[in-house]
Amino acid sequence: MFQDSSARFSPDNPHSDFPRDETDPGFDNSGPSLPIILISAAFGIAGGVIGLYAPYTVLGWELPASIFIAVLCASVSLGVSGAGLTLLTGTRAAMANVAMSCGLIVISLVFLGLCMLVGALAATVLVLYSG
């Protein structure tokens, strides 16, 4: 009724049918990498800031054209840095790293917007009731 399977699936036995995943020296964990996500998100934000500053302030362009250049620079710098860092590390998760970096930027902007909204409401209440 009961079978002893502890000796049959021992990882110390090289002839066993033990599923080797992380113990295998050729194991490739191709999931997204947090350092690559954070660094490429920082590159994306930096590219957007530089892409907005250069046309609007230095070249004197109108705001819609400057925002277009800023979004283009942010997208290109995020994609190139995410794919380049993924290529340098040798993993196969370039799309996952770039998508997670974009998600991190979107979540950060939503959080920033929420904080600004709460701050504006708190300042309004403070001004109304401060006398």
Tell whether 70 is covered by a domain. Answer: yes
pLDDT at 24: 54
Domain count, the chain: 1
Instruction: In whole angstroms, give the CA distance from residue 127 to residue 121.
Output: 10
pLDDT (mean) for 122-126: 95
Tell whether 80 is covered by a domain. Answer: yes
Report percent pLDDT > 90 for the chain.
Answer: 34
Model pTM? Answer: 0.63
- Do residues 93 and 30 lie in contact, with contact meaning Cβ atoms separated by under 8 Å? yes
Q: How many CB atoms lie within 10 A of CB 44?
A: 25
pLDDT (mean) for 81-101: 84
pLDDT (mean) for 88-115: 86
Tell whether 6 is covered by a domain. Answer: no
Q: What is the pLDDT of residues 45-61, one digit of tens each?
A: 999 999 999 999 999 99
Q: Which residue has the tokens 């994609």?
A: 79
Residue 110 confidence (pLDDT) above 70: yes
- Give residue 102's domain range: 34-126
